[in-house]
Amino acid sequence: MSLLEEWLSPFATVNTGFREPNEYILQYSDSPQPQQCVISGGRVESYLTSQTRAVLNVIFDRGAYLPDLGLWLDSRRKRSVGYISHAHMDHVARHQRPILTSGTRVLLKTLLQRSDPCTLEYGETYDTANYSLTLYPAGHCLGSAQVLVRSKVSGQRVLYTGDFKVRPNPTAEPLQSVSCDTLIIESTFGRPEYCFPPQEEVLDSFFETLRGWLNRGETPVVLAYRMGKSQELLHHLLSQGFEVALEESAYVVTQSYQEAGVEFPGPFRSFDGTFREGEVLLFPPGKGTRAALERLKGRRMVAMSGWAVHNGARYRLGVDEAFPFSDHADYSELVDYVKLVNPKQVYTINGFPDLASHLKAQGYQAEHLKSGQASVQLKLL
């Protein structure tokens, strides 16, 4: 029997794991929950039960799961109860009882026809026996929300950002920072090369390019995802006096935005296959778009994407111009947000692991969770 086993035997351990030099995870034969303890000089100095330990466990597997609370966040699989941060399809499933904002509910009304949604406004709290959760704006698109989950047993607070945008977005409530103990943050642009220029500069160059094309009698086609970025760019274009026609599915989404109370600073129309001189076309990227626009004479394409920070983006995206415009936070904004929220533990998901490495070097407890991966405590069991 090793010295460690000797130390642990009085505690009827059936499972052990190693965390920090003096910190172990063990499971008592009479307890269903694993326990964390600190051992020093052959004695258990203190132990942290699942009720009192500093951070809640997190599993990331096509969505984030908080096993201590039995709560799924943005699960891609159908759950009995599931929080949906926003209406992009990589965050959505047909949960029996989805928890979401009224804006997200409007955008998902067809998909969630057979669900029994729990709709919350920003700042409103949903209570269960184990936890309460409160939604805060994420600035990403209509209805996008961060969720603060508070364990009623330990008082620990987990903030899950979902996708978020720091820069102004005229079609979404501005991001609100929320302090927490554990932060689960997206890291889509979690690499130092993804630092975007100031948004106003990017938009000015974009408008100038469009005006140049229109003055030469060419037809500008702006490529942007049908939900979120299309409406954001539509708002900017209309406020600059551009005439805009949207691809039909993006137009339908824009009507939902209007239904949810978003106002646009001018008229616009659904593209019916005929181009009117002086118009800018807004289209989602994809094969269908290229086919639909094949016969359009004098077509000039521009992509609006965070990936456009790379010099070769125009060639890779197959467009005439590309501007680094995103509905996500850039690298420096992600780092700044972590500093602002000041968590004890950070988990990065949905992007580059570099952000977690940088945060670790800055002294944060940080870990990147890949799909199918659990947080440190659970991995050891």
**Residue (254 or 377) nearer to Zn ion, CB:** 254
Instruction: Reduce the DSSP state of residue 337 to 3 states and report it.
Output: helix
**Which of 8, 185 has the CB closer to Zn ion?**
185
User: For Zn ion, how many residues bind (rule: CB under 5 A)?
Assistant: 2
Considering only residues 196-225, where is the footprint of Zn ion by CB under 5 A?
none
- In angstroms, what is the minimal distance from the CB of 331 to Zn ion? 17
Residue 232 as a binder of Zn ion (CB under 5 A): the answer is no
Which of 141, 142, 133, 140 minimizes the C-alpha distance to 160?
Answer: 133
Dihedral sign from CA coordinates of 78, 80, 81, 87? positive
Could you tell me the smallest distance in angstroms from the CB atom of residue 100 to Zn ion? 13
Q: Minimum CB separation from Zn ion for residue 17, in Å?
A: 35
Minimum distance, C-beta of residue 51 to Zn ion, in the bound complex (Å): 34
Instruction: Give CA–CA dist 140/366, Å, rounded.
Output: 24
Measured CA to CA, the distance from residue 327 to residue 185 in angstroms comes to 15
DSSP code of 91?
Answer: G
Minimum distance, C-beta of residue 324 to Zn ion, in the bound complex (Å): 17
Interaction residues for Zn ion, span 77-116 (CB under 5 A): 88
Site track for Zn ion across 38-67, x = CB under 5 A: ------------------------------
- What is the spatial distance between Cα 73 and Cα 71, in angstroms, rounded to a whole number? 7
DSSP three-state, residue 331: helix
Beta carbon nearer to Zn ion, 141 or 237: 141
- Phi and psi at 347, nearest 5°, equal -115, 125
**Is residue 43 within 8 Å of 58, Cβ to Cβ?**
no
Q: Which is nearer to Zn ion, 88 or 235 (CB)?
A: 88
Q: Whose Cβ is closer to Zn ion: residue 227's or residue 302's? A: 227
What is the DSSP secondary structure assignment for residue 276, as one 8-state letter? P
Q: Among residues 37 and 349, whose Cβ is nearest to Zn ion?
A: 349
Contacts (CB under 5 A) with Zn ion, residues 143-172:
163
Closer Cβ to Zn ion, 88 or 368, answer by number: 88
Q: Residue 204 corresponds to which amino acid?
A: D
Rounded to a whole number of angstroms, the minimum distance from the CB of residue 186 to Zn ion is 8
| Cα separation values, 56 from 49, 53, 103, 129, 266, Å | 11, 7, 29, 17, 48
| Residue window 172-191: x/- pattern of binding to Zn ion, with contact defined by CB under 5 A | --------------------
Question: To the nearest whole angstrom, how small is the minimum distance from the Cβ of residue 142 to Zn ion?
Answer: 11
Beta carbons within 8 Å of 246's beta carbon, 6+ residues apart: 230, 234, 254, 268, 269, 270, 271, 281, 282, 283
Closest CA to 58 of 46, 67, 48, 45: 67
* Shortest distance, position 344 Cβ to Zn ion, whole Å: 27
Nearer to Zn ion, 186 or 321 (CB): 186
Question: Where on the chain is the footprint of Zn ion (CB under 5 A)?
Answer: 88, 163
